[in-house]
Amino acid sequence: MPQMIGKFQILKTLGKGSMGEVLLGLDEVLGRKVAIKTVLPASSFGAEAKARFIREAKATASMNHPNIVTVFDFGEQDGLHYLVLELVEGQDLEALIQQGDLPKSDLLEVLAQTCEALAYAHERGIIHRDVKPGNILVTQSGKRVHAKLTDFGVALVDRSNLTDDGVWMGTVSYMAPEYLDTGKASPSSDLFAIGVMLYEILTGGRKPFTGETTTGILNAILRKSAEPLTPQETSSLSPVILEVARRALAKAPEDRYGSGEALAQAIRQAVAPQPTMIAAKTPPKAALPTGVPLLVGKGHGANCLSLRVALRQAPAGAHIKVLPGTYHESLVIDKDIIISAASEDGEVHLENLQGPCIRVANGSTTLNGCILHSAGKAAIECASGGASLQMDRCQVESKGLFGLSLEENASASITNCHFSGARQALIKGNSGATLTILNTQFLPSKAIGIQLDLGAQATLEDCELTELWGGAIEVGPDARVQVRRCKIHGSQFAGLLALEKSSVTLEDCTVSGHAGSGLHATGRASVQVRNCRFEENPGFGISVLDHSTLTMDACEIIKNEQAGVLIHLNATAQLKDCKITDGKSFGLICSQKGRGVMEGCEIAGNAQSGAKVEPGGSLLLVRCVVRDGQDTGIVLFQDGEATLEECVIHRNARGGILLAKDGADPILRGGNRIEDGLVRLTPQGPVKLAPVKKR
């Protein structure tokens, strides 16, 4: 076993296989432990193994997703090919299924997260082809599980020709029928493997297709239905999850779920707490005959003046239509119901100055085309225990603490709505709550836009969160949020605040105008950002503190008043193909054990140094350009560390690299071009140095 591979110190062997070894390594620059996969020079797999290995590196390195293991580096040393990966300290799903210690709901959440990882890969033309429990690593943080999909060694990337059509790659028990039949992999064949794992979780480890030989297993997958579950296995399962498993294992791809996201949603909905209907102590008064429409209001054929009366008369599943007008009522809903404005043109106002306009106590409530005004604690409340709310084309105007409050494990789906007012948060998701918010506007308010408590989850797409004084999104401990194609503008604090052990994913978003920071992560938060723009924030573009991690890909950080990126107090930030330009201060600061890694990035036109490495900080630049700054390109303080590989530093007004009086020289590797030169501070003032030799 070598002592060093690349820049990584080898600590011990984690495992061995026929192709090579998995080693525990240490990045001495960043102080971070990593997993290093190797292909032995004498591997019997030869050129094909090496080609697959390089393919895994390129496939995984091209992806940035919280449920996919991150690739830090790959290369070759003395004929040994190596791949440096994020170290995931946990167990694989195969072991967890066999042990049977985790609840089935947690194992199914692992599958749902894996489905989201596959959806992300499939969108980028990458098919895994070896999805199985052994390739899903699982960590636990409190009550929350987190999945990491790994081992893309047989992935099909953009119609790669390394493996010909008709040649199977992967693990037989998880292969889809059409893949066995033709050898052609597709996204649907990856999802079939999810169906196999779903069956294993439901049965405690049994596989759906069995045989005494490999040929027998192949024939079962191609020609037989999945082995039926026993009565003991089905007694504790809902019919909904059984139907999800049946559809996921369909022989024909067109009969399965159409995407990883669709399958993830189906799994989560199937395991969500089902509403328990509360039996009325007395029969409902004057119940309407079946088939008679419920129309509330004055005139036009209405059969109720009051929404409260209509709710008492309505059977479960009824659709109540409401004529234009103002209804001063407080509704408590304990059954499945739909409430809609009778026409798109008429305004239906629900008002309550003392408490909520609507409290969903049980079941599923759908609300369409209504305007809600409240001065109570919240305009809408969803009770704990699985109450569910769907909103479309609604406006919520609150003078209380919240616009919408979701109690423990409640859920809401919100589309085409407007939220305004409130004193604490426009939407509050308490422990375990789940939110899906699409095409919705959060209007100027002194409150936080969305506040997620312990373990809550939210997905936002195509939303606008504007001029929210308390911040746009606050992600509490162990909560997670995914934000896509959103505009987050204007607050007195952070646009997006990620707190202890939370998980945040941003994609294709614009974040601007925030006095504290566009994005602030602290307390071991994990943040992944792709194709986003952080611009014109009066504070920092991004600030990462206290052991948090930030991964950014193809982002622009532009014209911020404070540093574009601040990495502080043992935080780590990895930036790839990003631009930090035209800031009014430093481009990037590594401070007090902050660790920065930048690859293929551009730092240009900043008013102060492009990058500042303070005492205890470290910065690695690979194939980066630092140019056209109004000060120095890089300033390196005493006890700060900087390493440059194949970088260009030029046209900076006051020199390329400024070194503190007693600061260490930067480490230069692989043909850097430092046209502005190196300058060291001395008691007599700055002194220009000869170029530092490579080492």
Q: How confident is the model at residue 162 (pLDDT cuts 50, 70, 90)?
A: very low
Alpha-carbon distance of 205 to 246, in angstroms, equals 17
Q: What's residue 279's pLDDT?
A: 38
Alpha-carbon distance of 534 to 518, in angstroms, equals 7
Cβ-based burial of 420 (10 A; exposed 0-12, middle 13-18, buried ≥19): middle
Structure tokens, 143: 């009550």
Q: What's residue 632's pLDDT?
A: 95
Residue 476, SS3 per DSSP = coil
Residue 68 DSSP symbol:
B
Give the best-scoring range by mean pLDDT among 159-163, 523-527, 554-558: 554-558
Q: How confident is the model at residue 294 (pLDDT cuts 50, 70, 90)?
A: confident
Average pLDDT, the chain: 87
Nearest Cα residue to 578 out of 606, 598, 564, 561:
598
Does the structure show a pLDDT above 90 at 435? yes
Which amino acid, one-letter code, is at 454?
L
Does the structure show a pLDDT above 80 at 283? no
- Domain spans of the chain? 4-86, 91-271, 291-432, 439-562
What percentage of residues in the chain have a pLDDT greater than 90?
64
Does the structure show a pLDDT above 80 at 690? no
Structure tokens, 148: 């990491």
Q: What's residue 293's pLDDT?
A: 61
Contact 403, 376 (CB under 8 A): no
The gap from C-alpha 155 to its chain's centroid, in whole angstroms, comes to 22
**Beta pairing class for 588-591 and 565-568:** parallel
Nearest Cα residue to 452 out of 433, 471, 472, 470:
433
Q: What's residue 492's pLDDT?
A: 92
Within 165-259, strands assigned E span none
Residues in the chain, total:
695
Q: What does the pLDDT look like over 170-196, one tens digit per residue?
A: 688 999 999 888 888 899 999 999 999
Q: For the chain, what is the radius of gyration of the CA atoms?
A: 28
Does the structure show a pLDDT above 70 at 44? no
Alpha-carbon distance of 198 to 208, in angstroms, equals 10
Which residue would you say has higher pLDDT here, 415 or 45? 415
Does the structure show a pLDDT above 70 at 160? no
CATH architecture of 291-432: 3 Solenoid (2.160)
- What is Dmax (Cα atoms) for the chain? 96
Contact 637, 615 (CB under 8 A): yes
Alpha-carbon distance of 200 to 187, in angstroms, equals 21
Structure tokens, 149: 């999909």
Q: What's residue 344's pLDDT?
A: 75
Q: How confident is the model at residue 689 (pLDDT cuts 50, 70, 90)?
A: low
Alpha-carbon distance of 549 to 543, in angstroms, equals 11
Q: What's residue 170's pLDDT?
A: 61
* CA angle at 404 for the pair 399 and 406, rounded to the nearest 5°: 140
Does the structure show a pLDDT above 80 at 281? no
Contact 450, 457 (CB under 8 A): no
Alpha-carbon distance of 27 to 484, in angstroms, equals 32
What are the residues whose beta carbons fall under 8 Å from the beta carbon of 310, sequence distance 6 or more? 294, 296, 304, 320
Alpha-carbon distance of 577 to 81, in angstroms, equals 25
What are the residues whose beta carbons fall under 8 Å from the beta carbon of 95, sequence distance 6 or more? none
Structure tokens, 594: 């902050």
Q: What's residue 82's pLDDT?
A: 85
Alpha-carbon distance of 406 to 412, in angstroms, equals 8
Cβ-based burial of 492 (10 A; exposed 0-12, middle 13-18, buried ≥19): middle
Does the structure show a pLDDT above 50 at 302? yes
Does the structure show a pLDDT above 70 at 41? no
Does the structure show a pLDDT above 70 at 684? no
Q: What's residue 159's pLDDT?
A: 35
Residue bearing tokens 């085309």? 369
- Which range (460-469, 601-610, 680-689) has the least confidence? 680-689
Q: How confident is the model at residue 53 (pLDDT cuts 50, 70, 90)?
A: low
91-271 under CATH 1.10.510.10, yes or no: yes
Q: What's residue 232's pLDDT?
A: 81
Q: In the Cβ-directed half-sphere of 317, how many Cα atoms lie within 13 Å? A: 2
CATH architecture of 4-86: 2-Layer Sandwich (3.30)
Alpha-carbon distance of 639 to 631, in angstroms, equals 21
Alpha-carbon distance of 634 to 611, in angstroms, equals 5
Q: Left, alpha or beta for 478 (phi > 0: left; psi -120 to 50: alpha)?
A: left
Q: What's residue 142's pLDDT?
A: 72
Does the structure show a pLDDT above 80 at 1? no
Q: What's residue 695's pLDDT?
A: 40
- Given the residues 130, 190, 582, 676, the one annotated as active site: 130
Nearest Cα residue to 530 out of 36, 70, 32:
70
Q: Is 190 a catalytic residue?
A: no
- Which range (149-163, 267-281, 348-362, 489-503) has the least confidence? 149-163
Alpha-carbon distance of 529 to 12, in angstroms, equals 33
Which residue would you say has higher pLDDT here, 689 or 658? 658
When pLDDT is averaged across residues 197-205 and rounded to a whole number, the result is 95
When pLDDT is averaged across residues 609-628 and rounded to a whole number, the result is 96
Does the structure show a pLDDT above 70 at 17? no
Structure tokens, 476: 């509490």
Task: Tell me the whole-structure pTM to 2 decimals.
Answer: 0.66
Contact 344, 324 (CB under 8 A): no
Alpha-carbon distance of 435 to 461, in angstroms, equals 11
Does the structure show a pLDDT above 60 at 155? no
What are the residues whose beta carbons fall under 8 Å from the beta carbon of 456, sequence distance 6 or more? 406, 429, 430, 431, 432, 433, 434, 435, 476, 479
Contact 372, 348 (CB under 8 A): no
Which residue would you say has higher pLDDT here, 278 or 47? 47
Which residue would you say has higher pLDDT here, 34 or 282? 34
Contact 407, 273 (CB under 8 A): no
Does the structure show a pLDDT above 60 at 414? yes
- Which range (33-47, 168-182, 375-389, 395-409) has the least confidence? 33-47
Q: What's residue 288's pLDDT?
A: 45
Axis-axis angle for helices 187-203, 260-271 (nearest 10): 20
Alpha-carbon distance of 182 to 15, in angstroms, equals 34
Q: What's residue 561's pLDDT?
A: 97
Nearest Cα residue to 34 out of 67, 66, 9:
9
When pLDDT is averaged across residues 339-357 and rounded to a whole number, the result is 87
Q: How confident is the model at residue 153 (pLDDT cuts 50, 70, 90)?
A: low
Q: What's residue 99's pLDDT?
A: 93
Give the best-scoring range by mean pLDDT among 28-32, 516-520, 685-689: 516-520
Residue 568, SS3 per DSSP = strand
Alpha-carbon distance of 505 to 558, in angstroms, equals 20
Alpha-carbon distance of 147 to 124, in angstroms, equals 20
Residue 255 DSSP symbol:
G
Contact 522, 550 (CB under 8 A): no
Residue bearing tokens 């002592």? 3
Q: What does the pLDDT look like over 59-73, one tens digit per residue?
A: 777 788 889 988 888
Structure tokens, 123: 């969108």
Cβ-based burial of 15 (10 A; exposed 0-12, middle 13-18, buried ≥19): exposed
Distances, alpha carbon 132 to alpha carbons 191, 306, 500, in Å: 11, 56, 31
